[in-house]
Amino acid sequence: MSRQVSGAVVVGVGPVSPRDVVRVARGGARVELAEEALAALDRARRVVEELAAGPVATYGVSTGFGALATRHIPTEQRAQLQRSLVRSHAAGSGPEVEREVTRALMLLRLSTLATGRTGVRPGTARLLADLLSHGITPVVHEHGSLGCSGDLAPLSHCALALMGEGTVRDAAGELRPAADALADAGLEPVELAAKEGLALINGTDGMLGMLVLAVEDLRMLLRTADVAAAMSVEGQLGTDRVFAADLQALRPHPGQAASAANLVGLLAGSAIVASHRGPDCNRVQDAYSLRCSPQVHGAARDTVEHAALVAGRELASAIDNPVVVTDGGPGRVESNGNFHGAPVGYVLDFLAIVAADVASISERRTDRFLDKARNHGLPPFLAHDAGVDSGHMIAQYTQAAIVSELKRLAVPASVDSIPSSAMQEDHVSMGWSAARKLRRAVDGLTRVVAIEVLTAARALDLRAPLTPSPATGAVVRLLRDAGVEGPGPDRHLAPEIETAVGLVASGAVVEAVETVVGELA
């Protein structure tokens, strides 16, 4: 299990925690190997070396790979076998992936190495930890992984850096030859020994790292979506009665209950909501996008938690092929299929559906603000002088364009499979592709929710002299303090949208309301 010591994440034989994945990937935390992990590595290495010295062919130790596994490799060529594997598999193409993704996959590969199930030498694992601690990040490319036999190309680019080859970014973000960056950090490249090349590249670490980061982001975004929905219900003179706990309990989904409870707390003390609670109100029911917010946001929450459960199981896994087995008897090396990315790929696709649907309902709530036939007394498009001014008309266009893109990104990658390696690898997960499109989906959802927050804040100002709730009022103040002005003549809107996107992405919107109502569910 990973633990924090003096600011470093210490990787042991148990699973690394999601929190530590985020700390290393995004926070740049240093990484160390626990003594128990070094001992496990040493035990497994002895098994590999005994097999390498023996007469029996062992996959990954004394044979070729994939469809070439029937070729027995002489002892004198086995070091070259491992080098050739890494060089040939470092075949990625396209744009460079984000630093946080590469750091996450490096940490997760190290976590599997530390289980003592892969057979790498302690020094090889320690060098991987050192690269993380020195901020040396191999260049990994967008395309190259089929999500089966692991994220082979991405991990191969990382293994190449351990050999002192390929290109990396140093701690300052400068693009440099790996050999130079290692030398400046006082690190020696590794000469790969039997099985080490294969052990460094045969894992689902890239897709898993992106899943862990997406779960972290979506948990925050779904709380932000509750804030945005509360602002929209309030600004559109909706009712909070439908969010009552006894009504939600009739359909006992935990995410729905949590979302509804958030809405009740966020709307508490609103003079705007109170203004239409009396007998004069002739509104019978609000539109679905307002009334059903807890049902949609709640289903999304429950889906994210299912994905987190899968991620937790994967974090506790030792993904390699072949794997070193040392429990209860003499050690052996066995082939297996645990590298298949299906469990991760499915939930990555599921989360892309979640992002698309939460964005869709957010865009519908925003659109209601802009239509004078549905916004209950607000000016068309929330414009200062409608006709001369367009208000937030095109902000909704931006939302609509993003939502349309999110619907395309919701098409699952994991239902596709293209055979590879001369039909030896004849069914693959496409989990890496699912993860890459989910990252774009999370960014899109962030932008859609930010535009709803921006639009709803303008509408709440236009309800003056009625005042919003203390919680939603805190969001309005957050925007104004960040330089987003209140209602008035048209001005350049793109910078205001980007300011709102930054406040949503950073978690500042959630923090603003939590200072008023306490921690959201």
Cβ contact 454:500 at 8 Å:
yes
Biggest CA pair distance of the chain: 91
- DSSP notation for 245-307: HHHHTTS--HHHHHHHHHHHHHHTT-HHHHTT-STT-------HHHHTHHHHHHHHHHHHHHH
Rounded to 10 degrees, the C-alpha dihedral 111/114/115/116 comes to: 150
Interior angle at CA 214, CA 302 and CA 316, nearest 5? 80
Please give the backbone phi and psi of residue 10, each rounded to the nearest 5 degrees, phi first.
-100, 120
Determine the Cα–Cα distance for residues 350 and 92; give it in Å rounded to an integer.
26
Which residues contact residue 482 at a Cβ distance below 8 angstroms, ignoring those fewer than 6 apart? 499, 503
Cis peptide before 95 (omega within 30 of 0): no
C-alpha dist (Å) from residue 115 to 1, 13, 49, 463: 10, 4, 17, 60
Scanning the structure block, which residue is given the tokens 């976590």?
A: 111
Instruction: Please state, in angstroms and as integers, the Cα–Cα distance from residue 245 to each residue in 45, 242, 262, 263, 297, following that order.
Output: 57, 9, 11, 11, 16
The sign one gets for the Cα dihedral 347, 350, 356, 360 is negative
Which of the residues are catalytic? 59
User: Phi and psi at residue 465, in whole multiples of 5°?
Assistant: -85, 0
Q: Phi, psi at residue 244, to the nearest 5°?
A: -60, 145
The residues, any chain, with a CB within 8 Å of residue 412's CB and separated by 6 or more, are 349, 352, 434
| 8-11 and 31-33 beta bridge pairing | parallel
Strand partners, 177: 167
DSSP 368-413: HHH-TTTSSSPPGGG-SSBTTB-TTHHHHHHHHHHHHHHHHHTS-S
Please report where in the chains the tokens 């199930």 appear, as a residue.
Answer: 117
